[in-house]
Structure formats: C-alpha cells, structure tokens
Amino acid sequence: MVTPRKPPLTPDASGFNVYARECPARMVLDRIGDKWALLVLDRLRHDAARFNAIRRDIGGISQKVLSQVLKNLERDGLVLRTVHATVPVAVTYSLTPLGETLTQAAASLIHWAESHMAQIQHAQRLYDDRLAATSL
C-alpha cells in the first residue's frame, strides 16, 4: 500500500491512488489526462504512423509538443518508436501492448466529446443566458 484513498471509492488492489498528490499514479495521470496525449493515443489506435503524418492529422499540434508527448509516451512504455534504416530516415510510432490497453479509454473520452456536443452547447447557452439575465 502506498497511500490511502480518501474518498469512499473502491480501493485499488495495486495500492496506488491518483487522489494522493505524491502518488506516482498522479504523475501518470498528468500525462495521459492531457488533450494532446489523448489525441496521439487515439490516432495510433488503428495503425502506426510517421511523425509528420501524426502532426498533420492532429490539427493545431506543434512539432515541439508532439515531440514531447511522443517521448513521454515512449518512456512510459505506451508507444513504440521504430527507426527504419532508409535514406532519408523514416520513424514510425505505434502502440505497445500496454498502450493498447489504454487507448480504448482514451477513445471513449474523445468519442464522448463528439457525440455529446449538441447537449453541451445547449447547456452552455442556458448557462450563459441565465448569467446574462441575473447580471442585468
């Protein structure tokens, strides 16, 4: 056991607890609970891809950030970096078996955002209108 969980949630058999600020699991959550990392993980879900392909597919990600995200994911053992000895050098990124156990959860989050946008936008309008009304 590393740290006790404060909320009355089901205790985790592993002993790790994301609710504790010092727990290593929190560090991992920091990385995977990130917009860019989730998108990269989802992008690699069905097929491996080269650096610039990922960069093109994920609108708005900079080369610097993609580079950092990939390196972190590789260090955590979620992404495999493969260098092909061609000229010029080609590098492909793919999911490791460990990474594949995560992408479904990542995809769920992403898909949720897309499929519930209508309801979210409706809620936002209600909230904004109500706010404007009270501030008159």
Partner DNA sequence: CTGCATCCGATGCGATACTG
Partner DNA sequence: CAGTATCGCATCGGATGCAG
67 binds, among DNA, its own copies, none (CB under 5 to 8 A by kind): DNA
Compute the least distance from the CB of residue 126 to DNA, in Å: 17
- Residues 6 or more apart from 108 whose CB is under 8 A from it? none
Taken as a whole, the chain contains a residue count of: 136
By the rule CB under 8 A, 55 interacts with its own copies: no
Binding part of the chain for DNA, among 66-74, 106-114, 116-124, 126-134 by CB under 7 A, reads 66-74
Contacts 24+ apart (CB under 8 A), 112-117: none
By the rule CB under 7 A, 35 interacts with DNA: yes
Q: Taking CB under 7 A as the criterion, which residues in 78-97 touch DNA? A: 81, 88-93
By the rule CB under 8 A, 66 interacts with its own copies: no
Written as six digits, the tokens of 3 are: 């740290």
Distance CA 68, CA 101 (A): 21
Q: Are 77 and 96 in contact (CB under 8 A)?
A: yes
Chain positions contacting DNA, by CB under 7 A: 34-36, 50-53, 60-65, 67, 70-71, 81, 88-93
